[in-house]
Structure 1
C-alpha cells in the first residue's frame, strides 16, 4: 500500500513507537519527526546488558547471567533450538497498522505448547521497583494501556504469521521483570487472551493510534502537538522536557496573539466587581472566595492590573484605587505561603539555566504537572491562550500558576530549571519559587 508524501516519516513503525506515541505525542514528535538526540540513561544501558545476557543464555545454554538476570532464571524456559529468541518480525512483515508496516524484534517466543493451541510471547523488562512499576495482566491484555499496546502487537504478529504457528488459539502475553534496585527480585506477569481478543484490540485501539500519528507527523512545530504532562517523569524521565515547555512560546500564532493582548496595562471593561468568573476554579464561585483573594497577591509584575475584586485584600468593598496599588506587589504572600517558605527554606535548591555538580531533577516535569492541574480545573487546553471569559484570560494565568506553585511547592530536593529564557511558564515558576529557596539555594546561571 502506497503512503502519502506527508507521512514519509511513517514508512515503517515499531510497537515501541506506537507505545511511546500513546504515552506522549509531543515526545514522539521530538524523537521521531525532529529526530532530536535523547540523553543517555544508566538504567537503559543496564537493561541492554541484562537483555544480552538473557539472549545468550537462551540461545546457547551457557549460564552467563549476571546477578539481576539470574534472579529470574526460574521463570525462563530451558534453553533449546526450538525457542525463538530475539525473533524478527520478518521481511516483509505481516503486521500493519493503518497501512504502515511494523518492524521489530520479540525477546522470546516459546512454541512448546503449540500442540495445545497455546503460544507464549515474552518481553523482558528491567525496573528499579517491581512493586511500583510492573503491569497487571489486565493491562497487558488491553491496548488501551501503553504496556498492552506492545504485547497485543506481538500477539497479533503471531496471529498473522499463521503458517509458522498452526493451530494457534490462545496467547500468553508475558512481561518478565528483573528488579535492578534493592533486593534481587524477578516476577512473571502473564495475560492469557484468545486470538479473537488480540485481533479486536489491535483494530479497535491500535489502528486509530497509527492514523493519529499521520496527522502529528505533518505538524509544522512541536507547539501544534499535544503534550501529556503526566508522562514527563515516566521511564526515567523524558529527554525533551525543556524543549517541550519552550516550544509553545516560540513562534506559534496563538502565542504571538496572546503577547499582543498582554501588552495593554488595563484589561477590558467587560468584567465587573461582582463577576464570579475571576475565581481560579471552575465557575460559578462567589466573589469573596478565598482562592480568588489569594491569587491577586502573587501576580507577577508584568501582569495587567487586576480589577478591584481580584486585587483587593481583605474584602471586595475596599476602595478600588487602594486595591489596584496593592496588586503588583510581588513579595506579598499569605500566611500559608510564608509558612511553606520557612519549611522549604533549608530543603529546596534551584539552579536556573545552569547545571549543578550534584544530582538534580528537571523542574520542567513539576511545572508541567502544575500546568496540567490548572488546565484541568479551569477546562482549558492551554492556560496561556485561555478564552476571554476564563479566569486565566488577560495574563491572569501567571498569578494562578504562581499561587498554585507556592501553595504546592515541589518535594524537597535539588532542581534544575533549564530553558527559562524561552519559556514564560518556566519564568513564572522560577519567580514563584525563588522566595521559597533558602539563602544560597537559588543559583542563576550567568548569560
Structure 2
C-alpha cells in the first residue's frame, strides 16, 4: 500500500529547532517576506496561531477540489463550483496534492523545502509544457488576484510560491523529462458576494524560474537563518505596515506590548522615560501639595498680592506684565482668532467638589490646605499651539519630535528614518506609523508646546496629528491659515 503524501514528511520534526532551520516551505517564505517578526513568533517561538474563518473556508474548498480531481465525483460547493469550467477533466494522470517528496529536490542555501502542489497537469508534456496550478480562495478576486508578471517574479508574494513550484518541477527531471515551458496558474474562487472564479496564467521557462530562485530566494533564506538565531523577538525586524493585512496579525498585541519579549515600541518607550520616575520618588504625604520648584520672582501683583513668576505671567507688546491667574481681575488674553473662549476664573472658595467626598462643615482648625490654582491645573495638562504664539511660556515641540525621531531611527537601524531603505523595517513610508506610535506611547510631559512652521516639516505634521487626541477640550489651538 502506497504511503500517504503527508507521511512522507516527519510530523514531529520542527521547522526551526534551537536556531537551526531544518526545513522551509513556500508558506514560510511568504510569511517571512510579509513580516520577519511574525515568522519568528510562529516558527521560532512556536506560538499558536488561531485558525481564521477565511482559512477554514479555504481548507474546505481545497478538500472538495481534491476529491473531485481525484475521483471525478462532483462534490463541489457553491464557491468551488463557480470555477468548475476552469478545471481540467479528472483523470489518473493528474497529480493532485503532489508532495515534494523525501528527500526534497528543492533547496535554498542547503535548506530543504517541503510542501504539496494543488494540481500538476502533465497532459502536454509531449510538447515540453507542464502546467502547475494553485487554488486560491479570496474575498475579492478583482482586488486581490495576482498578475501574470507577479507569478513569475520571486520578489512578490505570489511569485515566491509559484517560482518554487517551477524549480521543483525542473529539478524533478526523471518525472517530467523534456519539460521546457512552465505554465504557472492561479485559479481564484471568490468567497464573498457574487460567486465567480478567474484563472491567471503565466508562461515561462525553467531557466527563468531557476534564476529567480537563485537571485532572490537564496538571499532571503540566508536572512531567515540570521533571524532564526535571534534570542529575542526584538532582534527580528518588524513590518508595522503588515499588522492589519490578511485579517490582522495574531501576534500584534504581543509584538506591540512586549509580553515576554521586547519589541521596537518597548525600546522606544524605555528610552523616553525619565531617569527618575514617579514610582521611584517618595510618596507625597496626604493633603500636602508637592513642593514646587523655586521660580524667579518678578515682584508681586498689585491686585491680589501674589508673587509673580514666569509661569503665571504674560508680557504684552506694550511691555506690561500681567498676572494671568489673578482672581481680582479678568485679563484679556492674546490668543489666535480660532482659540476657544476661556472659562471664567474660579474663586478659591468655589472650587469644584470631588464626587467621592462631600464637604463636612467648616475647615478644621490647623488645616491649611489650599485649593489648586489655575496655573497648577494648567501644568498638569498637555497644551498644544499649532502655528500660533501662545500667551504663556511654551516649549518648542520640534525639540521633542527630533528626539523621538532619533530614537525611532536608532531602533530601526538607520541614520534617518525618512531615508530608510527597502530592507529596513521603516522602509516604504512605514516610519510614519512607527513615529506616530512612539509619540502616542511616550508623549511629552504636561505643559504648553508650540509647533511652528507645520507646513515645512513632515515630522511635525505627524507629531501634531498623533498628539491632538491626547489634548483636552480647549488645549489644542491652531492658528488661522
TM-score by length of 1: 0.62
Distance across 2 between alignment mates of 1:250 and 1:197: 41
Distance across 1 between alignment mates of 2:208 and 2:200: 18
Distance across 2 between alignment mates of 1:61 and 1:435: 67
Alpha-carbon contact 2:436-2:462 (below 8 Å) kept: no
Alpha-carbon contact 2:234-2:264 (below 8 Å) kept: no
Distance across 2 between alignment mates of 1:247 and 1:170: 49
Alpha-carbon contact 1:155-1:173 (below 8 Å) kept: yes
1:43 maps to 2:54: yes
Partner of 2:36: 25
Higher RCO structure, 1 or 2 (CA under 8 Å, sep 6+): 1
1:246 maps to 2:257: yes
Which segment drifts farther, 234-243 or 77-86? 234-243
Distance across 1 between alignment mates of 2:193 and 2:107: 40
- Pairwise mapping of residues 255-334 of structure 1 onto structure 2 (< 5 A)? 259=270, 262-263=273-274, 314-315=388-389, 322-324=393-395
Distance across 2 between alignment mates of 1:82 and 1:432: 63
Q: CA deviation at 1:223?
A: 1.0
1:143 maps to 2:150: no
| 3-state SS in 2 of match to 1:20 | helix
Counterpart of 2:176 (choices 153, 156, 165) is 165
Alpha-carbon contact 1:402-1:432 (below 8 Å) kept: no
CA gap 1:312/1:201 in 2 versus in 1, 3 angstroms: closer
Partner of 1:432: 469
Distance across 1 between alignment mates of 2:470 and 2:96: 51
Q: Deviations over 1:74-120 (max 9, x none)?
A: 00000000000000001111000110111110000000001101000
Distance across 2 between alignment mates of 1:228 and 1:152: 24
Alpha-carbon contact 1:262-1:395 (below 8 Å) kept: no
Q: Deviations over 1:310-367 (max 9, x none)?
A: 978623xx78x6114x98xxxxxxxxxxxxxxxxxxxxxxxxxxxxxxxxxxxxxxxx
Distance across 1 between alignment mates of 2:51 and 2:76: 24
1:222 maps to 2:233: yes
Q: CA deviation at 1:407?
A: 3.8
CA gap 1:140/1:260 in 2 versus in 1, 3 angstroms: closer
Distance across 1 between alignment mates of 2:380 and 2:420: 25
Q: CA deviation at 1:22?
A: 1.1
Q: CA deviation at 1:210?
A: 0.7
| 3-state SS in 2 of match to 1:322 | coil
Q: Deviations over 1:24-73 (max 9, x none)?
A: 10110011011111122111001000000000000000000000000001
Q: How many residues align?
A: 319
| 3-state SS in 1 of match to 2:89 | coil
Counterpart of 2:246 (choices 226, 230, 235) is 235
Q: Deviations over 1:252-310 (max 9, x none)?
A: 79966973663169xxxxxxxxxxxxxxxxxxxxxxxxxxxxxxxxxxx999x99xxx9
Counterpart of 2:90 (choices 76, 79, 86) is 79
RMSD: 4.1
| 3-state SS in 1 of match to 2:188 | strand
Distance across 2 between alignment mates of 1:19 and 1:231: 12
Gaps of 5+ in 2: 1-15, 277-378, 398-410, 445-457, 474-481
Counterpart of 1:107 (choices 112, 118, 128) is 118
Gaps of 5+ in 1: 266-300, 328-370, 409-428, 437-447
Q: CA deviation at 1:8?
A: 4.8
Distance across 2 between alignment mates of 1:94 and 1:234: 32
Distance across 1 between alignment mates of 2:93 and 2:225: 39
Partner of 1:415: none
1:67 maps to 2:138: no
Alpha-carbon contact 2:269-2:438 (below 8 Å) kept: no
Q: CA deviation at 1:243?
A: 1.2
1:91 maps to 2:128: no
Q: CA deviation at 1:247?
A: 3.0
Alpha-carbon contact 1:179-1:185 (below 8 Å) kept: yes
1:212 maps to 2:193: no
Alpha-carbon contact 1:57-1:63 (below 8 Å) kept: yes
Partner of 2:451: none
Alpha-carbon contact 1:125-1:177 (below 8 Å) kept: yes
| 3-state SS in 1 of match to 2:393 | helix
